[in-house]
Chain A
Amino acid sequence: MISLVVDGSPSGCRDAARDLRTLRTSLATLADQLAAVRAGSSPAWTGLAGERFRTRTGSVIAAADEQAEVVGTVAAALDALADRLDGVRAAMTAARMTAIGAGIPVGSDGLPGAAGLPPDQLEAHARALAAVGHARDREAEAQRQWTAVLARVTWQPTDDPRVLGATATVRGLGVAEGVRPFVDRLEGLLPGSGSPGLPSVPLPPLLPPPGRGGVGPGVVFRQLRRMQEEEWRQMDDDTDLDGLTLTERLARGMVMGTATGVGAFGAIALCMRVGATRKAVPVCGDVGAAAGAKAGDLILRAVDDR
């Protein structure tokens, strides 16, 4: 029996997307209203306390804006998933109709196998089978795209080897008194925080197996340069943050650089392990570096939220 069942409820997805859009609207409205309150408080409340009120209000506004953006993205993706599931179901119905049209006995949930069918039904059965295969491909792609969006919401630092790499790198800075709280918060992202020693980073080896060729120096230097650029970019960005010492900025930059590097070289190693061509390997590095830089952003935000 070849299943024609498509799991998931498009109407349920659309209902949930609608509720998410309501939440997004509330969050956006909240951010707007708080921005007005914040601005309106300036002439009525000056001095340190007033500034602290506006700082806290600003922090809530930023969080509301960020949440609104994420919730809106998830809602749109959920609608897209519903549309794709509808498309997969329509393709399954078309496959069923192809089989029924040829007189093939189709059950409620699936097509029969080809064994035992008369020769004049085999061609229609093959077409129906191909249509089911295409529909399953589309279903898998829909799920892949949806789970990629979910990953943005469900990202956990403890699942991400880039957090381990970044922590290991900045741990050495922890001896500097000013940066210790940052390193503590970063280490606090990891399971068993406070315990000495970090778990090993579960990445594939950078060196390829014997006989598989190596990575040219250009590929390595390109990613080293990206690490440095990301580190400096983060330090530049952090100049706008109040109260950060140079060492803390350096630590934050190193988190970003390390996450980028681990992403880049991890991706390169992975591509080499699966036999990517020499031309493809640098591209793997670029993609991994970009993903690593995004992870670096997530790490810093997670640390800031602690």
Chain B
Amino acid sequence: MVPSVRGMSEFQFDPDAIAPLPAGLRAQQAALLAVTTLPSPDTGGSTAATAEAVRRLSAAATSLAGRLDSLADDVDECLTVYAEVDDDVFQALELRMAGALS
């Protein structure tokens, strides 16, 4: 298996280097989610406003974690697409080369 494809376009993709990325992104997502549950302290007269602010900070961090998960899914899809196309491309390449040499 050739580790990368480079054609006339600027496209180059090294699946061995990219494959670990989704797992890393999901690990970062899990690490972030683990600290997004925040206590809402009694701050006196501003307690309700504090609770709302804490809720928003927590929601923002949770949303960011969701973006990491989504990015990981999309990179996974890229790897899947690459693997599927990769076989077709090299099969076609081999047939063309074999044809040229026949």
A residues near B, CB below 8 A? 6-9, 12-13, 15-16, 19-20, 22-23, 26-27, 29-30, 33-34, 37, 40-41, 43-50, 53, 56-57, 60, 63-64, 67, 70-71, 74, 78, 81, 85, 139, 143, 146-147, 150, 153-154
Contacts and interface: CB of A to CB of B under 8 A. Distances in A.
B38 to A, nearest CB: 5
The 9 A-B pairs with the shortest beta carbon distances in the complex, nearest first, are: A8-B44, A47-B11, A44-B17, A7-B44, A12-B41, A44-B14, A16-B41, A153-B53, A9-B42
B9 interface: yes
Contacts of B75: 53
A16 B12 contact: no
Contacts of B13: 44-47, 49-50
A39 B70 CA distance: 20
B14 to A, nearest CB: 4
Interface of B: 4, 9-14, 17-18, 21, 24-25, 28, 31-32, 34-36, 38-47, 49-50, 52-54, 56-57, 60-61, 64, 67-68, 71, 74-75, 78
Nearest to B10: A47
B80 to A, nearest CB: 13
A15 B53 contact: no
A40 B14 CA distance: 12
B35 to A, nearest CB: 5
B11 A27 contact: no
Contact of B46 (A6, A20, A71, A147): A147
A251 to B, nearest CB: 26
A20 B38 contact: yes
Nearest to B82: A49
Contact of B57 (A12, A60, A71): A71
Contact of A34 (B17, B28, B44, B45): B28
B48 to A, nearest CB: 10
B39 to A, nearest CB: 5
20 contacts: A7-B45, A13-B42, A16-B38, A19-B38, A20-B38, A20-B57, A23-B57, A23-B61, A27-B32, A30-B64, A41-B17, A44-B13, A45-B17, A53-B71, A60-B64, A63-B64, A70-B57, A146-B46, A150-B53, A154-B49
Contacts of B40: 16
Contacts of A6: 44
A6 B45 CA distance: 10
A59 to B, nearest CB: 8
Contacts of B18: 41, 44-45
Contact of B10 (A30, A46, A153): A46
Nearest to A71: B57
